[in-house]
Amino acid sequence: MGIAALFNPYERLLARIKRSAQSPDLPSELRPFYERPMPSGRTSVWNVPFTSIDFETTGLDFKNDIVISLGGVGFDGPSIDYETAFHTLLRVDGSKINAQSAIVNMITPEQLCSGEDPHEAMLKLMDKLSGGLVLTHCSAIEYHFLKKTLGLGDSLELPMAFADTMQLERAITGYHEGVDVRLSSIRQRRGLPSYEAHNACADSIATAEVFLAQSRELFRKRPPSVSEIFRRSH
Amino acid sequence: MDQSLLPNIYDFISKTYPFSQLSPLEMDAVATAVKISYHQPGDILDDADLAGAGLYLVRTGACEELTKPDGKLRARMGVGDTFGYTQIDKQGRSDYKVRFLENSLIYFINRNVLKLIFEKNKAVGSYFSSNDRVRLHSSQAAATARREASGAGRTVFEAATRHIPLMQEDDTIQEVAAALRDTHSEMAVIARGDQPEGVITKTDISNRAVACGLPATAKASEIMSRGVISIEGSEPVERALELMVMNNIECLPVTDHGRFTGVITPTRMLRDSRLESVYLLRDVTNVDSIKALPLLSHRVKGIFTGMLAAGMPPHDVQRMMSRIADVFYEKIISLNIKQAGTPPCRFAWFAAGSLARCEVQFLSDQDNGIILEKDPGKEGMEYFARLSDAVCHDLDSCGYPLCDGNYMASNPKWRVTLEQWERNYSSWIADTTQNAILNSMVFLDIRHLHGDAELTSALKRHLSEEVNANSRFLATLCTISTTVAPPLGTFRQFVLTKDGKNEPYFNIKKQAVNLIVELARLYGLAARSQETDTYARLKAARAAGVLRDEDYRDLAEAYTFINSVRFTHQLNSIKSGAKLTNNLPPSELSQFERNHLRDAFRIISRQQQAANVKFASGRGIL
């Protein structure tokens, strides 16, 4: 790694992924995902695998809470491709669902008991995401829950680059304190239609739409590069 | 993908015409094929983005279509509007480009998916067909125009009622009974989805459920009569009657392209506002005192709303309203003459403006004049002054308000000899300044009402001869008639006028109806036709070779549709007790109306340009 790359967050991410791939702690079932090449930082985000995702969880405590559903949608160039939209309910041990999260997420305990095995679901998700750019709103949630469900320790990096509409919004608004960066507020400011919140798939689409708007505001007509988006997302 | 997971797009598509007409399965296919893109003001879609691409649907924001290469505004689009469909079979170059005016979220559906859907759902496909006239024509509201052209009778749609409960097969008998009670219906249609599967009448509930001891929770499907015979709404009413007689049934479900929309019964078929108006005409004719007339005139409102509610074609409604006005005029004039004594000379009373064109609306004001055979002397003049004062006043009390512009026989200027009238016309026509014509515009449409018809005919002949002897006149009239452009940038508030309450509105009379009336007048005069009715003028112009068949059909179709929108909204205001107005707030227009109005405006704009090319030279028709 050259000196300049030390100051480039995306190059540092690539280095961490490379180290993780060689780590003896990496579960063997995940190795194939690390063999996929990551895009170079200079590539346009419209020319790399790019997926917007959203997790619904029982709470924000990474240790004790769990993911109950996940959804996402892919980009096809600078547009969102509905055909790639997906949504999965995860199987949950009944005792872990508290009444409140069921209300917020509008998912009943019965639905969750018949959901997909979380580990299996995350492996399938890894297949969609690894080697590409992943969009979320507030990426810490998806990042940590994904790592936890897959059993990746703190020292290991996920083989993908996270973009974050919440951080991008902070960049656009000049990192002022007190700017409301909730997804619904960001959408409202841009006159984007209001979404029925708390459905993982709909939220991932809402996030993707926001990204389309933000990238135009930040870069006008020029397609942003992967490292430009990554830097403003962290 | 489960619909509930993509609530936004399903919600939006299911409320946006014509996608709302798709079946759930088709809607599913469309929704999952959508691609979303985002555009900023100034962004352009051109050639490859449009030619051979697909259909764009505006989710939020606004954009406009610009013709190429001159960049003239073709249409302006907002939420729920679509574009691009006419370009899907083009290659390389598109006919127009699209420029974004606001930050816009756009749904895109590519041509292959569309073709597949429209192959299955012809009704929706035909809506998107490339020609605006075809689109107006395919709209149900224009079904009436079609019928008018073919001369056939009423369609089932017009006689059908939509107020009938549509229940599902697995609803309970109790639910069906409650729905019958709540809608005051004799029967409910039981469907699977939108497909009628059977019917249940009140008698069925008594005979097949209660009498047989079925529980109230039994399914509707257990007692419904299956094998329902239904009829397409576009069929003539006679066909419905035939089916009823042949199958010994009294109630037929009505479908629109196979989808349930209502029912038709013999009572519905017989209810005809034309009958009510016939009674009124008879009653007015039989009256022998002016005092009785205002009371009779109160019935006009009911007849007007009845005709609108029955879905009578706008043109027929106007003709009937004009016929009623004619009878009131005739009665009021002859009763007043009876009181005033024998007139001192021959004369003709004529109608001008909308009554002359047989386009009377509810509460249209009066425009009329008197042609005297000769100067009847001072006393004779006083006779006509008294007579016309009385007549205009009586008309006013019968719901034909006095004219603001004072274009009435009670004004001595419009109560003169044939010779003077001819001089008036000659000077208006020779003057060719816009003001002269504007002030006399109302007299370019005249129709005989009472007295010596030969006098009115003579004046009309004179008008026609003068117009054609003076080619500059048509050029000036054309300029005046095309000054007001249709509001192509539809319903974005910045192109709308504001009323006193500062709400944007669109004046359907001034910004749409009048534009076609004026074009028709122009063509009618150019064709030396003595007709005054707008359709008749257009027909005469076509017959005389002044107007191409194509253009005739465009204008007639647009005129019918615009009038139907106008009438629908007037009916609504009458029903809600609001003041009758031609100002429509855009919020009151449905997506369907907006889309079709835009087509109609495009036709008007095109026809105005064509008229300018034809007449502006000042040499008349080339």
DSSP string, B396-411: HHTT-PPPTT--STTS
Could you list the beta-strand ranges (E) of B353-466: 368-372, 415-417, 446-451
pLDDT grade for B141, boundaries at 50, 70 and 90: very low
Pick from B424-438, B504-518, B526-540: least confident: B424-438
Which residues of chain B have a CB within 8 Å of the CB of A85?
1, 5-6, 32
Distance CA B60, CA B78 (A): 7
Distance CA A131, CA A226 (A): 12
Q: Domain boundaries in chain B?
A: 3-130, 156-264, 275-469, 473-615
Distance CA B589, CA B327 (A): 35
Pick from A76-80, B68-72, B448-452: least confident: B68-72
Which pLDDT does position B150 carry in this prediction?
35
Q: Which two tokens stand for residue A93?
A: 């041990």
Instruction: List residues of chain A with CB under 8 Å from any CB of chain B.
Output: 71, 76, 78-83, 85-87, 190-193, 195-196, 199, 201-202, 205, 208-209, 212-213, 216
Average the pLDDT over B164-182 and give the result. 88
Average the pLDDT over B286-307 and give the result. 84
Distance of CA B188 to the CA centre of its chain: 32
Which pLDDT does position B495 carry in this prediction?
43
Show which of residues 522-581 on chain B sit within 8 Å of chain A, judged by CB atoms. none
Residues B582-605: pLDDT tens digits? 888 777 777 777 778 888 888 898
Mutate to test the interface with B, among A50, A82, A210 (most CBs of B within 10 A): A82
Contact A80 B37 (CB under 8 A): yes
Fold of the domain spanning B156-264: CBS-domain (3.10.580)
Show which of residues 84-143 on chain B sit within 8 Å of chain A, judged by CB atoms. 102-103, 105, 108
Which pLDDT does position B135 carry in this prediction?
63
Q: Is B602 helix (H, G, I), strand (E, B) or coil?
A: helix
Residue of A nearest to B12 (CA): A193
Which pLDDT does position A111 carry in this prediction?
63
Contact B35 A82 (CB under 8 A): yes
Query: A130 to chain B nearest CA, in Å?
Result: 23
Which pLDDT does position A23 carry in this prediction?
93
Q: Is B418 helix (H, G, I), strand (E, B) or coil?
A: helix
Of the CATH numbers 1.10.760.10, 3.30.70.100, 1.10.510.10, 2.60.120.10, which one belongs to the domain with range B3-130? 2.60.120.10
CATH number of B275-469: 3.30.460.10
Q: Is B494 helix (H, G, I), strand (E, B) or coil?
A: helix
Model confidence at B151: pLDDT above 70 = no
Residues B349-380: pLDDT tens digits? 999 999 999 998 877 889 999 999 999 999 99
Which pLDDT does position B241 carry in this prediction?
74
Instruction: Give the whole-number percent of chain B exceeding pLDDT 90.
Output: 29
Cα–Cα distances (Å) from B249 to A2, B62, B228, B241, B252, in that order, read 89, 52, 10, 10, 8
Which run of H or of E encompasses B58? strand B54-60
Q: Tokens 């608004």, residue?
A: A173
Average the pLDDT over B317-322 and give the result. 88
Contact A83 B32 (CB under 8 A): yes
Q: Which two tokens stand for residue A196?
A: 């029925």
Mutate to test the interface with A, among B28, B38, B107 (most CBs of A within 10 A): B38
Which pLDDT does position B132 carry in this prediction?
65
Which pLDDT does position A74 carry in this prediction?
95
Average the pLDDT over B477-500 and give the result. 65
User: Whole-prediction pTM value?
Assistant: 0.60
Which pLDDT does position B620 carry in this prediction?
41
Asked if B325 and B365 touch (Cβ cutoff 8 Å), the reply is no
Which pLDDT does position A3 carry in this prediction?
64
Q: Which residue would you say has higher pLDDT here, B156 or A69? A: A69
| DSSP bridge pairs for B190 | B167, B198
Distance CA A45, CA A228 (A): 9
Q: What is the DSSP string of chain A?
A: --HHHHT-HHHHHHHHHHHHHH-TTS-GGGHHHHTSPPPPTTSBGGGS-EEEEEEEES-S-TTT--EEEEEEEEEETTEEEEEEEEEEEBP--GGG--HHHHHHHT--HHHHHTSB-HHHHHHHHHHHHTTSEEEESSHHHHHHHHHHHHT--TTPPPSSEEEEHHHHHHHHTTT-TT----HHHHHHHTTPPP---S-HHHHHHHHHHHHHHHHHHHHTTSPPBHHHHHHHT-
Which pLDDT does position B270 carry in this prediction?
59
Asked if A17 and A38 touch (Cβ cutoff 8 Å), the reply is yes
Asked if B80 and B105 touch (Cβ cutoff 8 Å), the reply is no
Q: Answer positive or negative: Cα dihedral of B341, B347, B353, B357.
A: positive
pLDDT grade for A75, boundaries at 50, 70 and 90: very high
Q: Which residue would you say has higher pLDDT here, B520 or B127? A: B520
pLDDT grade for B619, boundaries at 50, 70 and 90: very low
Q: Which residue would you say has higher pLDDT here, B259 or A124? A: A124
Which residues of chain A have a CB within 8 Å of the CB of B13?
none
Structure ipTM over 0.90, yes or no: no
Asked if A129 and A111 touch (Cβ cutoff 8 Å), the reply is no
> Domain B473-615 is in which class?
mainly alpha
Which residues of chain B have a CB within 8 Å of the CB of A45?
none
Q: Which residue would you say has higher pLDDT here, B132 or B605? A: B605
Q: Is B82 helix (H, G, I), strand (E, B) or coil?
A: strand
pLDDT grade for B309, boundaries at 50, 70 and 90: confident
pLDDT grade for B340, boundaries at 50, 70 and 90: very high
- Give the number of other Cβ atoms within 10 Å of residue B579's Cβ: 7
To the nearest 10°, report the CA torsion of B149, B153, B155, B159. Answer: 140
Distance CA B142, CA A195 (A): 37
Q: Which two tokens stand for residue B371?
A: 């042609």
Q: Which residue would you say has higher pLDDT here, B501 or B265? A: B265
Contact B1 A199 (CB under 8 A): no
Which residue type does B488 have? Answer: L
Model confidence at B164: pLDDT above 80 = no
DSSP single-letter state for residue B495:
G
Which pLDDT does position B493 carry in this prediction?
37
Q: Which residue would you say has higher pLDDT here, A203 or B506? A: A203
Average the pLDDT over B571-576 and give the result. 76
Which residues of chain B have a CB within 8 Å of the CB of A201?
1, 5-6
Model confidence at B142: pLDDT above 80 = no
Distance of CA B52 to the CA centre of its chain: 34
Contact B36 A191 (CB under 8 A): no
Distance CA B186, CA B176 (A): 11
Instruction: Give the whole-number percent of chain B exceeding pLDDT 70.
Output: 88
